[in-house]
Structure formats: C-alpha cells, structure tokens
Amino acid sequence: MNVGLVFTDCAAGSYGDYCTSKCGNCADKTPCDIITGGCGLVGCVDGFQGPTCKDVQEPDDNTTIIAAAVSAVIAVIIISIVIFLVLKCRRRRKSTESDQVLVNDIPLKAKTDAPRPSEQTPKGRWNVL
C-alpha cells in the first residue's frame, strides 16, 4: 500500500504538513505558500528576511556609519555656532565697556573764561560765578 502525503488548503497564516507551521511576515498582508511558507514574489515586510520571512533583519553596517557621520557633522555645526555667539557677545561687551570709558572721560561742564549769555544779569552786567 502506497501512502503519500496529502496536502489540504491551510487557513490563512499557516502552512506545511497538517498546517501546523505559522506563516512569517509577508508584504502587503499576502498569505504565505501553504507548502513552503514562503512569500513568493511579494517578499517580506521591512525588518524581516529569510525564506519564510521570520528572521529579523539586522541593520546594515553602512546605515550605522552614515548615521554616526551625520551626527558628528551636526554636533560640529552646533558647537561652532555656540562658539561664534559667545565670541560675539564678548566683543560686544568689550566694545560697550570701552565706549563707556570714553564717554565718562569727557567732562560734563567745561570751564571757560568767557561768561555764557545765561550768566548775564538783566541789566547787561556780568555775574561772576
């Protein structure tokens, strides 16, 4: 007597002998092959790989290197901006301090020998201060 395997249609999400294996992660929510569990031409969803789309896909080394390089460039730009702003504030502060020294060195009331018109008396005589 020749006994062979009999395959029946498995419910969506299962495959293999007597439909005991569960399908992986096929793209577009496509059911897997009832015999092999493969996803065929549609392939696996992002993040999974292998013949039955059950293996978790590791990130590429290139992705890590690119992310590190971009992060380093952004950090250098931010540090450069901070240094530029600090130097600009210091220059402004020094400029303001030097302007104040120059203004403070100018006497407010200059002494002159000639009397001002406001210092004359109503009769035209000069008041001596």
The answer as to whether 77 is a domain residue is: yes
The two tokens of residue 88 are 């600009």
The pTM assigned to this predicted structure is 0.39
77 & 49 share domain: no
CB 90 within 8 A of CB 61: no
52 & 63 share domain: no
84 & 67 share domain: yes
22 & 36 share domain: yes
Question: How far is it, in rounded angstroms, from Cα 14 to Cα 7?
Answer: 12
Question: How far is it, in rounded angstroms, from Cα 121 to Cα 103?
Answer: 33
Domain that holds residue 67: 59-91
18 & 48 share domain: yes
Quote the radius of gyration of the chain (alpha carbons, Å). 44
Domain count for the chain, please give it.
2
The answer as to whether 5 is a domain residue is: no
The answer as to whether 115 is a domain residue is: no
Residue by residue, pLDDT tens for the chain (129 residues) are 444 455 567 888 899 888 999 999 999 988 899 899 999 899 999 999 999 999 988 776 677 788 889 999 999 999 999 999 999 999 888 877 665 555 555 555 655 555 555 555 556 555 555
